[in-house]
Structure 1
């Protein structure tokens, strides 16, 4: 990764401002989407996001359903807090039982680890449409690289549900409230999605912060091995933990099929930036790796269109006091929607990313993943099989390419 220094003075001033002012994040509502807000216990400036998954519109919610959701922490700490999302709901949603524990195997929890989570002192919470709710801190310490299990039950779920469709993780559900149970007997049904849970935070040692990876299906982990946490942000989290850098938290805010400019597979990166990225606690750096879905398939998107989108994301992130790292768009020749017109846009966009001062640094994923024999195509050793998504080895190579010190700008 190549670091930039031109913005250092301005960024330092913005960081001081961001640390002095705590604001409730709100974004403009579209015609069919209520304004986003955080409700419940206020955020603490010491909290740092340890896991995240971008919210998206799912199918309809099911009343009296419980979910057992497995998430992998990055940074460890005390005071575990979870964030439940009704961002895409069209009515209030009640959660009357929420527990957090440690996975033993499958849906079974480590004995004694499953504890109730409260919201402003209450076991039950109702989340307004378009909002997320932050829990009270849970006493005790959560280690780094732990499979945390959050079990939730809603008695009245209905209408559009909020969640994350492609978890690359086996999760569980059942009818009736079995959230307090440590055993797996009542959790036989499985799902490859996360429901309603969109982030987890902890209170680590002083001075620790997080990076949020904003991206599409490559960041979301498609073609990596399910249940083994081999998405490139997972590999990055392990590197950060081993290196002991200031940045320890990693939140994966990728959505399969996502675009920078247009809604479709989830809201565009521009439209979800506030909710999925800037509202997360303890974020030091935004890592932007997105754009291939905008330029493929004869979309008509020009390099200048995509560059303008990148510039807007960087501007808003800098205004929030965040460091911004960009990444070049990876090669995808061989994918069904590849053509020379899209390739020309990719090359122009990548030249901008390498030379621009809009970012505080960049990682050249194009250089890391491409074949030396055909630079428009992914190296077969890294190819997950569809010529656009890297396999586990490619994911690891991407994480290895990130300059850990440069993440702090």
Structure 2
């Protein structure tokens, strides 16, 4: 029986800068700020009881205009011109460019208990503990901001401290790069259930080559966790205490999960764009060595960066265990496609590699799946992506002999789906991942030196997959 999920929130408008914004499911509420600069509007707090309303701010502004002497206004005008106004070079007034916020890292979120696997997916809860996570932005920029999600929470999520820094190795960060993350001017933030908060801009330059540490301190019990189960890097949890600014600390728990951190935005170059890789654990990085950036999307990002030219970042929208047609590990792919791909600013293309879990779990226990149903699911995603102006590239499903998923019936399904991907002309281009990793002597299997257990590619297999992608698709 298919399990329903709370509707997914749309992604935030990352071109908008400044302070915390609390995003409700389905829409963003905006209120006018008390002032504007030449860089455009500065967004105020947007709900959740975390700041004065627009009406209060307007009354304060009017009151200051009535009572303030002219000299004060002249001084304020001078400061505004120096800090936020256009620069003067000779006789020419050159406006400062507005920030160009793009998601340089995203992590698809799912509930702590999902589908039929509630006990297996029961995530941890934190209290008086520090959680330090590491992510690799795939775009460069002089500043960043965080997106924290309490989408699946049942109570307000309270964070007492949030800091970012650049990673040295393991749990260790560079103390010179530690920056406090603030929300509407405050060091702490409370995120209501079902909402998402965006931080203020943080002046920390990232180059796309180093991991960024994101350290969260929970004083109060965090409650039901909104998380990404299988990340590419280690996450460290302290026994107790606020260690967000510490160079290192002793970890009481190490996982590969990401907690509440759904995105990192970068103030990117104005000609930058993104490609999303949409799939399951094969895309998420299962089978690759942790903390090395060797999943096939990470390898693709490295190839694109080394090529030069206009920056193209890669958003890994893989979710381990995910299915295209049915909820299981998180919302089904056909549902989360809007949140994780279409609503992300700057995405110009998507690589679709999903369906192997639908095939591998097809049967009496969870319902039979046909090739026609998977193909219909692809067609719907293609139509939705093209309606947004995106290119859609189809990846062939890789072999699975040697894994429990493999049966003659499942193999026939996989081959039928791949035949459609290659020959129907439904995609803008086809990326033949199967051909990159299959065993020439046994086409039903991945070459032994390229897989960990018959289904997931290892580091060498992921590199083969990334190298199978023609970079001319982004010329």
Give your verdict on TM over 0.5.
Answer: yes
CA contact (8 A) 2:11 2:339 kept: no
TM norm structure 1: 0.86
CA radius of gyration, larger in: 2
CA contact (8 A) 1:46 1:282 kept: no
Residues 275 and 130 of structure 1, relative CA distance in 2, 3 Å threshold? farther
Of structures 1 and 2, the one scoring higher in RCO (CA 8 A, sep 6+) is 1
After TM superposition, the runs of 4+ consecutive aligned structure 1 residues lying more than 4 A away are 37-42
After TM superposition, the structure 1 stretch with the greater mean CA deviation from structure 2, 39-48 or 349-358, is: 39-48
For 2:407, the equivalent position in structure 1 comes to 339
For 2:109, the equivalent position in structure 1 comes to 55
For 2:288, the equivalent position in structure 1 comes to 224
After TM superposition, the structure 1 stretch with the greater mean CA deviation from structure 2, 34-43 or 238-247, is: 34-43
Residues 325 and 36 of structure 1, relative CA distance in 2, 3 Å threshold? same
CA distance in 1, matches of 2:330, 2:260: 15
CA contact (8 A) 2:11 2:344 kept: no
For 1:371, the equivalent position in structure 2 comes to 439
What is the count of residue pairs matched by the alignment?
A: 378
CA distance in 1, matches of 2:473, 2:253: 43
Deviation at 1:357, TM superposition (A): 3.7
CA contact (8 A) 1:53 1:253 kept: yes
After TM superposition, the structure 1 stretch with the greater mean CA deviation from structure 2, 110-119 or 182-191, is: 182-191
For 1:93, the equivalent position in structure 2 comes to 157
**Residues 131-163 of structure 1: CA distance to partner in whole angstroms, max 9, x if unpaired?**
322222212421111111001123334432011
Residues 239 and 270 of structure 1, relative CA distance in 2, 3 Å threshold? same
CA distance in 2, matches of 1:41, 1:347: 40
User: Gaps spanning 5+ residues in structure 2: where?
Assistant: 18-98, 113-122
For 1:20, the equivalent position in structure 2 comes to none
Residues 245 and 329 of structure 1, relative CA distance in 2, 3 Å threshold? farther
After TM superposition, the structure 1 stretch with the greater mean CA deviation from structure 2, 395-404 or 334-343, is: 334-343
CA distance in 1, matches of 2:319, 2:352: 13
For 1:27, the equivalent position in structure 2 comes to none
CA distance in 2, matches of 1:34, 1:126: 21
Matched, 1:401 2:475: no
CA contact (8 A) 2:163 2:245 kept: no
For 1:21, the equivalent position in structure 2 comes to none
Deviation at 1:55, TM superposition (A): 0.8
Matched, 1:278 2:342: yes
CA distance in 1, matches of 2:443, 2:8: 44
CA distance in 2, matches of 1:134, 1:321: 26
For 1:287, the equivalent position in structure 2 comes to 351
After TM superposition, the structure 1 stretch with the greater mean CA deviation from structure 2, 65-74 or 350-359, is: 350-359
CA contact (8 A) 1:101 1:110 kept: yes
Deviation at 1:407, TM superposition (A): 4.2
For 2:45, the equivalent position in structure 1 comes to none
For 1:172, the equivalent position in structure 2 comes to 236
CA distance in 1, matches of 2:392, 2:16: 23
**Residues 78-97 of structure 1: CA distance to partner in whole angstroms, max 9, x if unpaired?**
22111111121122212231
For 2:167, the equivalent position in structure 1 comes to 103
Residues 161 and 132 of structure 1, relative CA distance in 2, 3 Å threshold? same
**Residues 234-261 of structure 1: CA distance to partner in whole angstroms, max 9, x if unpaired?**
1111101000243521121212211111
TM norm structure 2: 0.75
CA contact (8 A) 2:158 2:222 kept: no
Matched, 1:252 2:316: yes
User: Gaps spanning 5+ residues in structure 1: where?
Assistant: 1-29
CA distance in 1, matches of 2:372, 2:449: 33
CA distance in 1, matches of 2:379, 2:200: 36
CA distance in 2, matches of 1:39, 1:290: 25
CA distance in 2, matches of 1:39, 1:75: 18
